Amino acid sequence: MSRPRPSGSRRPPEVLAPVLLLGAGAGEASCGILYLASYLRRHGVEASVRLFDDAVTPAALRDGLSRLLAHVKPRLVGVSLKWFHHVARARLLARTLKAIDPDVQVVLGGNSAAWWWEELSSWGCVDHLVLGDGEAPLLALCRQVKGPPNVVTARRGGTPTRAPLRYVQGPKSADSYYSHFDQLFLSGLDAHSFSGWIAPGKGCSENCLYCGGTRGVQMASFGRPTAFLRAEGSVQRDHREVAPRTWQLRYDFQGSSAAFIERTWQGVDLSRHACTWFLWGVPPPGLIETLARTFARVFLVLDIGCFSQTQRLEQLKQGLLKPCPTDAQLATVIDECRRHGNLALEVSGIAGLPFASPATLDEERRHVDRVLEAGCVVGYQRLEAQPGALVTEHPARFGMVTEARTFEDFLDYFERQAPGDGRVPMVRFSDAKLEAAVARTALELEALAAARRDEKSTAPLTGRTRLRNTAPETKAVRLGEWLGAWQVPAKLQQTPATVVRSVDGNGLTCAPLVDPRRLRHPHLQVGEEGALILSALEAFRRPTTIDAALSQLKATARVAPDDARELIAHLARGRFLEPA
């Protein structure tokens, strides 16, 4: 029996739940929404994530959101606008959410949302914006606490004010860590889409001229004076939560030592996992050996700023670039990586950075050649405009022009794009002759790097080539649980399907019993197509020549040899089949 409420007492405000957290971009959302949903769950707020969204057209997005909202029935929807090139889709999401359910509270957060808070708050389809770290502010919004920290509340017809950043995480913060992974995801496919991101630390301590996430921008948007390592116990909790549920781990932080990361792995067996580590500068002592010893496969991506050492050193001299290795230091790193057979190295750089000249372009060509000859992958792209970056805000200082600088520039650029167009605005040289030379060199080196990647990944296949099914994971699922109950007709919810993952994480979901006229999904192979894929994988269960497999498929699956041969080549490119 409830206790009588004293006269004049106030009932505590109702909690806004369930909560649904979405990424603003197509594809996989940032891991930030997983940290937020974990925090909300630990504090008694029902929260779920839609980690992966493959809707391309506005009509597909509205249809998917309508069914998702009817399934989850959220009171608050958080949209993670971390990356600036998702700004147009964020507006489409917010407008669509409000059109479906005008009463749902729409909250934007993330790096770009914090940078553009004033412009975004005028949209009319956004109720609140969270600035900086979002755990405590989002919980306060759910609990309808008066004056929540770090929150801008949109005022219809009025001018919002920037909320003070009273909640800033640091090295001693213990609010942010993964938990409740068995409850956060809305489908098996969504959980399968998680790529294993773990953040050993947060923020950035550098001010690279081309980046929109520099120390200065972090200070302005998050109140964070510099980068920091998270509490060791929190990172250890991340590993314990994630490792049993994913095939790989991914990291993107500079400053953690080999000893620090090893301590966060205690009690976790990673001997069958893959690892991708994005780093810059010379790797900390022992990191390469530690990664190679711990994981089955390791892929390092080393950012060196640009491939011309002359440009690199000039930018370092002027304080415009993070610490990057010299060519000699890079050669030493490459030699160390080559000693480990389970480790591959990509060296990445940006084309068209300031201080380019015909001499530095020749230097770039020679260095890219050397890196490729050493057996490395090369990542090479043009300089893009990023909001808040020095070269974007003040391009004339470097003899350059930018295709976007203001909020309106970026929003207009992305709203004019056709669905699926992945271009971003660029920063180019004002000197037409120099710009043409930079563009030619970039195209030449991009093509060279792509050709080398193709040489490595596409070994020639003949009828006598012996292949084997090397997929490390094959499991039986039910369609409703795998795709999400809101996406599958009731009569097909219990239909069995087979999920196969390649060594590189590529996934196939085959449902031979489903009539393609009854269910279509971009990540589902149904009917005869699904049956043929499973038959082809079964044909190579043991090392088998392609000719022998074709004969078997012709007899059992009654498929034309040309169709079967094309499918086998496709499975080999996806690394479901590999040379025996």
pLDDT tens digits, one per residue of 359-406: 999 999 999 999 999 999 999 999 999 999 999 999 999 999 999 999
Q: Is the pLDDT of residue 22 over 80?
A: yes
Residues in CB range of 231: below 8 A, 6 or more apart:
171, 172, 173, 174
Q: Where are the beta strands (DSSP E) in 193-328?
A: 197-198, 201-202, 228-229, 248-252, 274-280, 297-303
Domains of the chain, each with CATH number or no CATH? 19-153 (3.40.50.280), 466-579 (3.90.930)
Please, what is the average pLDDT of the chain? 93
pLDDT tens sequence across 485-504: 999 999 999 999 999 999 98
289's CB contacts (< 8 A; 6+ apart) are 258, 336, 340
Least confident stretch, 2-6, 99-103, 165-169, 501-505: 2-6
Q: How far apart are CA 337 and CA 340, in angstroms?
A: 6
Main-chain phi, psi angles of 372, to 5 degrees: -65, -40
Percent with pLDDT over 70 in the chain = 97
What is the C-alpha to C-alpha distance for residues 184 and 190, in angstroms, rounded to an integer? 10
Angle subtended at Cα 308 by Cα 302 and Cα 314, rounded to the nearest 5 degrees:
100
**Residue 1's pLDDT band (cuts 50, 70, 90):** very low
Q: What is the pTM of this model?
A: 0.94
Residue 258 near residue 283 (C-beta atoms within 8 A): no
**In whole angstroms, what is the distance from residue 550 CA to residue 557 CA?**
10
Which of 250-254, 268-272, 454-458 is least confident?
454-458
Q: Is the peptide bond before 18 cis (omega within 30 degrees of 0)?
A: yes
Q: How many helices (H) and strands (E) does the chain have?
A: 22, 25
**Tell me, what's the pLDDT at 8?**
53
- The pair phi, psi for residue 24, each rounded to 5°, is -80, -15
> Does residue 307 have a pLDDT over 90?
yes
> CA torsion sign, 19 to 22 to 28 to 29?
negative
Contact in structure between 127 and 92 (CB atoms under 8 Å): no
Question: At residue 194, what is the residue type?
Answer: F
In this predicted structure, what is the pLDDT of residue 161?
77
**φ, ψ dihedrals at 320, nearest 5°:** -105, 5
Question: Quick one: pLDDT band at residue 76, thresholds 50, 70, 90?
Answer: very high
Least confident of 21-25, 250-254, 369-373: 250-254
Query: Tell me: the pLDDT tens digits for 283-301?
Result: 999 999 999 999 999 999 9
Sign of CA dihedral 300, 303, 308, 314: negative
H/E run at residue 344: strand 343-351
